Amino acid sequence: MISQAGKTFSRSKIFLIVCLVFIFGLAAASFSPLNFFQFEIWWFGVAVFFLVLTFLSRAAAETSITDGRQLALPLNRAAGQADNKFFIDSGLSLKSAAFYFLLASILFFSFWRYGVSLPEDAPDKIWHYNQSADGSGGRAVIARGIISKEPDIRESSQKLEINVSEICLDNESGGECRGLKARGKVLVTTALYPEYKYGDELVFQGELKQPEEFNGFAYDRYLARYEIYSVCYYPKILPPLSLPLSKGESTHPDNWFYGKIFVLKNFLTGLIDAGLSEPESSLARPVVFGGQRGLEQKIRDDFQKVGLTHIMAVSGFNISIIAAIVMAGLLASGLNRRQAFYLAVMFLAVYIIIVGAPASAMRAGLMGVLVLWALKLGRLNKITNSLVLTAAILLLINPKLLRDDVGFQLSFLAIAGLVYVYPILEALWQKMRLPKFKGVSDALLITLAAQVFTLPILAYNFSQISLIAPLANLAVLWAVPILTILILAALPLAALLPNLAFIFFLPSLILTKYILATVKFFAAWPHSYLTVDYLSPLWIVLYYFLAIFLVIKARRSKLLSQEISGKM
């Protein structure tokens, strides 16, 4: 316990504040100029300095308080009556000093962590070769590497993330090409065919370039999230042995586990393609497996207009809803909370493995587990600490997510809306004595609550605010988890009897057709969306301050708090 100016912080409160300071520090760091991080080791030094101060002042506080207590013992009463209060007081203020030293240490630590995540320019890094000697354009290289992620297959091209191990510079003066060790990722864009797969070894010859911002989209920052600092467009792809291996270098296949997972995933998406036609299969695939771009641009634009693009991603929000439904189903089938929780967690684990276990789905899965855990406890609003801790851990692993990963931001904000805003809306609904329509009102309030915190991020990143979104979400969202579960159920049947696949996929066909028709219908409405050409970050900050202020105010107000605490 740390007492400070009459207030007492419990351990869990201190923990929460430490996590929040860390997240705030990363936010500040990610908007700081790059030359802040030239000697990032200094930040670490200062962090350690403050940490030492924390321990010293805590120790001093302990001795001071013990001294004070000893002085207060009856034997010493005569001698130290006046002194003991002084010792205890100074001990307490030393304790609160320790608390502030700890926060300062965390703040500097977060700056150091962000600095470490920035690319270091050295001759053994692939991004060192992004510019030709005269700086006029890309640098011509021959590079060898291994495909380190599933190929991203588009309508008329594919993108390969290649983990390069060595390169050979095209000598600008002509002559022998010299081999060099240079490591790092390159995003290669190439024709649709031939096809490649995860783990393939490639040698490519082309120009390395630095990714650049275009149309106001920070493509460089977007790729930097996953440590890609070089791109290469339509290189010549050579047979793997055309660059002789340097001694001691082995061509190790990257990761056996992922290789097998992707084979399974390809097999399963192939089943969906065989069981459904276009455009239904291109909706069904991303709803289950996420991250794919099969739908044609016109339909994608419609999804954007009605604010439903999010259903085509394995996001924290979607996984949480699926997890909650599975848990509810298991509870209804007579299991107790404990058993239902563990079974639902196992279901989530299997699902995440099936979708190929990309970092984004693992994050989403973690949040799904959080929501399940909250359901096991029986209350949704007790998860503040776990939510903030999850965010802090994910950011400790990859600090760039905070500023540059829209999916990360949206997932957390949507869940925050669910946890903090939904009870308020529900209480308001009850207070106004509006009818409940057997759960329809809940669905509407859930989609509204999820929108409260995500709205500015959506407007800023996609230049659109969908006005129809609450209605469209209400009309479609219920179908998404059902669709996911129907497809997951149809997959093993279709694998056993491929000729009858179209029958097993009939229920999913009806749902996908329904979703596509609904999206088309709502997108055709006049004024279904607003276009936001430019949104100043100041407005976003202002919006969040206002939203958080209102939420706190509403939760403290007596009228609502009664109903909230009654509900939860």
Partner 1 sequence: MSSRLYKLLLILGIVACFAAMPLFWLTYHQPSRLEVDFLDVGQGDAILIKTPGGQNILIDGGPDKTVIKRLGENLAWWDKQIDLMILTHPHDDHVTGLIEVLKRYGVKRILYTGAAHNAPNYLAWLKTARDKKVPLTIIDKAQTVNLGEQTKLEILYPGRSLLNKTLADLNDSSIIIKLVHGQNKFLLTGDAGLEVEKTLLAGEADLAADILKVGHHGSEYSTSQEFLEKIKPRIAVIQVGAGNDFGHPNLRIIKRLERTGAEIFRTDLSGTVKMISDGEKIEIN
Shorter beta-carbon distance to partner 1: residue 158 or 441: 158
Q: Are 150 and 356 in contact (CB under 8 A)?
A: yes
Given candidates 194, 248, 435, 566, which one binds partner 1 under the rule CB under 8 A?
A: 194
Minimum CB–partner distance for residue 283 and partner 1 (Å): 12
Minimum CB–partner distance for residue 268 and partner 1 (Å): 14
Given candidates 155, 172, 213, 301, which one binds partner 1 under the rule CB under 8 A?
A: 155
Q: Which stretch binds partner 1 (CB under 8 A): 130-138, 190-198, 221-229, 380-388?
A: 190-198
Minimum CB–partner distance for residue 237 and partner 1 (Å): 9
Minimum CB–partner distance for residue 334 and partner 1 (Å): 18
Shorter beta-carbon distance to partner 1: residue 195 or 533: 195
473, HSE (Cβ side, Cα atoms, 13 Å): 23
Minimum CB–partner distance for residue 270 and partner 1 (Å): 7
Give burial (CB, 10 Å; 0-12/13-18/19+) of 172.
exposed
Q: Is 191 in the site for partner 1 (CB under 8 A)?
A: yes
Integer CA distances (angstroms), 495 to 269, 272, 363, 505, in order: 11, 10, 29, 12
Given candidates 172, 213, 296, 301, which one binds partner 1 under the rule CB under 8 A?
A: 296
Q: Report d(CA 320, CA 318) in Å as an integer.
A: 5
- CA terminus-to-terminus distance, the chain: 28
- Quick count: other Cβ atoms within 10 Å of Cβ 32? 13
CA 549, chain centre distance (Å): 25
> What would the x/- binding string for partner 1 be over residues 2 to 41, using CB under 8 A?
----------------------------------------
Shorter beta-carbon distance to partner 1: residue 69 or 236: 236
Q: Report d(CA 486, CA 275) in Å as an integer.
A: 13
Shorter beta-carbon distance to partner 1: residue 220 or 273: 273
CA angle, residues 398, 223, 221, in degrees to nearest 5: 80
Q: Report d(CA 206, CA 410) in Å as an integer.
A: 37
CA 114, chain centre distance (Å): 17
Q: Are 308 and 318 in contact (CB under 8 A)?
A: no
Nearest CA to 284 out of 545, 90, 541, 501 is that of 501
Q: Which stretch binds partner 1 (CB under 8 A): 75-83, 189-197, 381-389, 518-526?
A: 189-197
DSSP 3-state of 266: helix
**How many residues bind partner 1, per CB under 8 A?**
20
User: How is 165-219 classified by DSSP, letter by letter?
Assistant: EEEEE--TT-SPPEEEEEEEEEEEEE-S-S---TT-EEEEEEEEB----BTTB-H
Q: Are 387 and 411 in contact (CB under 8 A)?
A: no
Give me the phi and psi of 306, to 5 degrees please: -95, 10
Shorter beta-carbon distance to partner 1: residue 200 or 227: 200
| Positions in 299-358 near partner 1 (CB under 8 A) | none
Nearest CA to 182 out of 128, 112, 256, 257 is that of 128
Shorter beta-carbon distance to partner 1: residue 115 or 294: 294
Shorter beta-carbon distance to partner 1: residue 185 or 285: 285
Q: Is 45 in the site for partner 1 (CB under 8 A)?
A: no
Shorter beta-carbon distance to partner 1: residue 94 or 509: 509
Minimum CB–partner distance for residue 281 and partner 1 (Å): 8
Minimum CB–partner distance for residue 191 and partner 1 (Å): 6
Shorter beta-carbon distance to partner 1: residue 24 or 502: 502
Minimum CB–partner distance for residue 156 and partner 1 (Å): 5
| Positions in 230-289 near partner 1 (CB under 8 A) | 270, 273-274, 277-281
Shorter beta-carbon distance to partner 1: residue 114 or 505: 505
Shorter beta-carbon distance to partner 1: residue 403 or 513: 513
Q: Report d(CA 362, CA 466) in Å as an integer.
A: 29
Shorter beta-carbon distance to partner 1: residue 147 or 445: 147
Shorter beta-carbon distance to partner 1: residue 304 or 512: 512
Minimum CB–partner distance for residue 278 and partner 1 (Å): 4
Nearest CA to 299 out of 289, 309, 290, 291 is that of 309
Q: Which stretch binds partner 1 (CB under 8 A): 82-90, 117-125, 187-195, 378-386?
A: 187-195
Given candidates 35, 136, 156, 536, which one binds partner 1 under the rule CB under 8 A?
A: 156
Minimum CB–partner distance for residue 360 and partner 1 (Å): 25
Q: Which stretch binds partner 1 (CB under 8 A): 6-14, 48-56, 185-193, 473-481?
A: 185-193
Q: Is 192 in the site for partner 1 (CB under 8 A)?
A: yes
Minimum CB–partner distance for residue 276 and partner 1 (Å): 8
Minimum CB–partner distance for residue 551 and partner 1 (Å): 43
Shorter beta-carbon distance to partner 1: residue 32 or 277: 277
Token reading at 376? 């096991």
Minimum CB–partner distance for residue 144 and partner 1 (Å): 20
Q: Report d(CA 309, CA 402) in Å as an integer.
A: 21
CB contact burial 216-236 (16+ within 10 A = b; e otherwise):
eeeebebbbbbebbbbbeebe
Shorter beta-carbon distance to partner 1: residue 193 or 214: 193
What is the SS3 assignment for 421-475? HHHHHHHHHHHCCCCCHHHHHHHHHHHHHHHHHHHHHHHHHHCEEECCHHHHHHH
Q: Are 31 and 403 in contact (CB under 8 A)?
A: yes
| Positions in 453-512 near partner 1 (CB under 8 A) | 501-503, 509
Q: Do the strands 529-531 and 158-169 form a parallel or antiparallel pair, or are they unpaired?
A: unpaired
Minimum CB–partner distance for residue 148 and partner 1 (Å): 22
Instruction: Name the site residues for partner 1 (rule: CB under 8 A).
Output: 155-156, 191-195, 270, 273-274, 277-281, 296, 501-503, 509
